[in-house]
Amino acid sequence: MTHVKVCGIREYEHAIAAADAGVDALGFVFAESKRKVSLKQAQSISKRLPDHVKKIGVFVNASREELAESYEFAGLDFVQLHGNESPLFCEQLNLPFIKAFRIKGEDDIDRIKEFENASYYLLDSASGPYQGGNGTQFNWEFLNEKEVDHNKLILAGGLNQDNLQKAIEIVQPTMVDVSSGVETNGIKDIHKIKRFIGLAKQF
């Protein structure tokens, strides 16, 4: 069964609706984004969620100090790194982390092996104004010729209920990550959240 992460959570009502629908992880964006939240907002939501829902903080080129402080304050389970963090930086972090990769071509997938100590690898599209959460997808076929640990693979980038089945069939990720695909007019839509999670859990 494919796990589901809903990213860009800003409201408790959306978080708890996702939790009730069977979501496995929720993402709080602390980097520059239209979905950015404060640590206090994330903490307020995080502490009221069921323990089985993993809380993930999304960062871009944050310092070790900021990551450690945010991890503790917001009650996170993982930090998700979307910047130019080096393998050495990640090795010395001493926090459970997800390394995100912006995929333009097949060669970008080869960088995964430099981050073997990552808890998960998140593959996202390289197009759009932000480091992630742009609602665009990359060519999933790039993964066909690559040896990747699919038990650590999170697929992001332009996923929605219409392309979800095809994405899972081609990529076979352990988790899918959705944000704009469960929004209406830029706001999380509880009905879309429930439909997306229910569909993903079929595969």
pLDDT tens digits for range 23-47: 999 999 999 889 999 999 999 999 9
Cα 166 to Cα 30: distance, rounded to the nearest angstrom = 30
**Residue 125: per-residue pLDDT:** 84
Q: Position of tokens 């708890």?
A: 16
**Residue 176: per-residue pLDDT:** 98
**Residue 145: per-residue pLDDT:** 77
**Residue 202: per-residue pLDDT:** 93
**Residue 135: per-residue pLDDT:** 61
Residues serving a catalytic function are 7, 124
Cα 15 to Cα 53: distance, rounded to the nearest angstrom = 10
The rounded mean pLDDT for the chain is 93
**Residue 65: per-residue pLDDT:** 97
**Residue 105: per-residue pLDDT:** 87
CATH number of 3-200: 3.20.20.70
Domain definitions of the chain by residue range: 3-200
Task: Supply the DSSP symbol for 49.
Answer: S
pLDDT band at 74 (very low <50, low <70, confident <90, very high): very high
- DSSP three-state, residue 150: helix
Could you tell me which of 72, 19, 17 has the C-alpha nearest to residue 43? 72
**Residue 132: per-residue pLDDT:** 45
Between 134 and 183, the more confident residue is 183
Mean pLDDT of the 74-103 span: 96
pLDDT band at 49 (very low <50, low <70, confident <90, very high): very high
Q: Position of tokens 């050495």?
A: 88
**Residue 81: per-residue pLDDT:** 97
